[in-house]
A and B are shown apart, each in its own frame.
Chain A
Amino acid sequence: MTWSEMQPLLSQACSETFSMVAWSTLIAVAAGLPLGILLVLTDRGGLLQNVVANKVIGQVVNVGRSMPFIILMVALMSFTRWLTGTTIGTTAAIVPLAIGGIPFFARLVETAVREVDNGLVEAVQAMGGNSWTIVRKVLVPEALPSLIASTTTTIIALIGYSAMAGTVGGGGLGDLAVRYGYQRFETELMWITVAILAVVISLIQFAGDYAARSLHHRGARSGPAPKLRLLKAEEPEAADIAKVA
């Protein structure tokens, strides 16, 4: 296969991946953010404590999270048909991608929002702020660096999921690598695809880390990228106290 043969294939696959990932990220963030915040608010001791709602949302999120994507895609077919009128193609692939992304992002949001110092919530309560004010003025802005890191993680996971979209004719880079690289033994094309994915993922990660770090506030703290906090709970408070003392 020559470059001139590969080039249109690659550019089409890229644009398909882009549109799948972009739309599904948008939807996942739009729906996952409130869901993740609700998970924190309805938890025991939360502002809108509601154990039943918390259990229900938590369970839905858990099921959504643990479902292998390829199964989710097949399981959602009738829903996809109802929504888009078709079960194949890029548009049809966006539906399961978005739905798979929502619980994924919601869990990350939950972790990020939980890290916001409860003292800040209390301070705003003491000023007479209501729950909505607290979400808007405290939880979201204070968790923003972590939320951006979570978005980065979600985008990258969705790029991974989108490779399976080929199963429903969604196209994209992953599909290209499977169909040409694996099934037709076009090893060269496969490696180019892999390289493109690697570069794109690195760029996204870099941009995400940069954005998160530059928001992570201004001056003083210049620790590791906030993304790491998803793995290990950090206690910024302790450091602050030590500094003050």
Chain B
Amino acid sequence: MITTSGLTKIYRAHRSHGREVTALDGVDLHVREGEVYGVIGQSGAGKSSLIRCVNLLERPTSGTVSVDGQDLTALAGHGPRAGKELRRARSRIGMVFQHFNLLSSRTVQDNIELPLEILGKSGKERSRKALELLDLVGLADKAKAYPAQLSGGQKQRVGIARALAGDPKVLLSDEATSALDPETTRSILQLLRDLNRQLGLTVLLITHEMDVVKSVCDSAALMEQGRIVESGTVSELLATPGSELASALFPVGGEATGADRTVLDVTFHGEAATQPVISQLSRTYNIDISILGAAMDTVGGLQIGRMRIELPGRYEENVVPIGFLREQGLQIDVVDHTAQEPVLVKEGAK
């Protein structure tokens, strides 16, 4: 639905020639139709530039963006001015913002009607659609209120309703929940999830909060310094050994109790989650296993368990039990395994 390839954005500071900031450094992103895709990264990682390049609010320095099969980068536009074609394409992409960006001079209903005015819809049609959308986001009683009279969460609901006014297939969410408290964040994310399901809306959201990815995303990408360092569906990521995103999405704690211990992170999903593997391991090899930390959670609608366990003895002494666990279809990451045979570990995990 959204595909970017080799997307690069370089900002040049005015007057001081040579000072350049590379915000995006060859980003390839592929968002499938009907999924919620989260791009996560710290501030300055280039997330904002990325999402603003998707509807060409920022023109990328190089690379292409295509949304719903249409190559947007090929559409005419001169500097900040967008050509007619590009404007039409934009009207089919909804966007919600961190600071809502509602017009304070218009009522809630008039704010939602604004994109329809731009599309040249008649007054009757506009108000019908606006009221319908207000109902959808649960603010039917606020049509005549002004944005200043609403709470942050309500403002964002209006923002979402406005973004949906043009019946877009794609919704871009630029840190939509970052200015909201946790409770409101949850309800807004729930709304996005519902809209994604009900309307088959493809959502690309950027965020710096892991919880956002965890609660609504089907797929995620991690951005660092203008590049995507990891990406995939949530289950793919969790199945990737050593995945930074996976361990951030689903952290388990616990320190080794002493030297000569082997600490393993065991990830269960699917079939393996139902097998009594730990007790089997203990019985088969007659070893004592201590559990340092464990958690069960639902990530992207997927039941996942993660456990950090400790086996007595060094890694070399535990190669066989680790092999046994892998045979059971579990994903094993060796924690703090000090560079003896790191290559082997990684390969073995695959």
Q: Is B95 an interface residue (CB 8 A)?
A: yes
Decide yes or no whether A240 CB sits under 8 A from chain B: yes
Q: Which of A120, A128, A137 has the most CB of B within 10 A?
A: A128
Q: Across the interface, which residues of A come within 8 angstroms of B99, CB to CB? A: 117, 119, 237, 240-241
| A120-B101 in contact (CB<8A) | yes
B interface, size bucket: 35 or more
List A contacts of B172 (CB < 8 A).
126
B119 contact set on A, CB distance < 8 A: 128
Interface of A is mostly: helix
A10–B146 CA distance with the chains assembled, in angstroms: 47
By a CB distance below 8 angstroms, the chain A residues around B19 are none
User: Which of B55, B106, B146 contacts A126 (CB under 8 A)?
Assistant: B55
Given contacts A126-B55, A127-B91, whether A144 and B105 have CB atoms under 8 Å apart is yes
Q: Mark B147-164, 1 if CB is under 8 A from A, else 0.
A: 111011001000000100
The smallest C-beta distance from A219 to any residue of chain B, in angstroms, reads 4
Which of chain A's residues 122-137 have a Cβ closer than 8 Å to chain B?
122-131, 133, 137
The interface residues of chain B lying within 8 Å CB-to-CB of A243 are 152
Asked if B57 is at the interface (CB within 8 A of a chain A CB), the reply is yes
In the bound complex, what is the Cα–Cα distance between A17 and B254 (angstroms)?
84
**A197 beta carbon closer than 8 Å to chain B:** no
A220 touches B148 (CB 8 A): yes
Chain A residues with Cβ under 8 A from B105's Cβ?
A: 141-142, 144, 215, 217
Contact B179 A123 (CB under 8 A): no
CB <8 Å contact, B115 and A128? yes
Is A245 an interface residue when CB atoms closer than 8 A count as contact? yes
A47 to B57, CA, bound (A): 11
Instruction: Tell me which of A122, A123, A215, A243 has the highest count of chain B C-beta atoms within 10 A of its own C-beta.
Output: A123
Verify B148–A133 contact, CB threshold 8 A: no
B146–A219 CB distance below 8 A: yes
Instruction: Verify B118–A217 contact, CB threshold 8 A.
Output: no
A 96-120 contacts with B by CB, 8 A: 117, 119-120
Q: B103 to chain A: which residues have CB within 8 Å?
A: 120, 137-138, 141-142
Chain A residues packing against B (C-beta within 8 Å):
44-49, 117, 119-120, 122-131, 133, 137-138, 141-142, 144, 215, 217-221, 237, 240-241, 243-245
Known: A119-B101, A127-B91, A218-B148. 5 other contacts (CB 8 A): A117-B99, A122-B101, A126-B90, A240-B99, A244-B152
Tell me the B residues contacting A by CB distance below 8 Å. 14, 55, 57, 79-82, 87-91, 93, 95, 97, 99, 101-106, 114-115, 117-119, 145-149, 151-152, 155, 162, 166, 172, 179-181
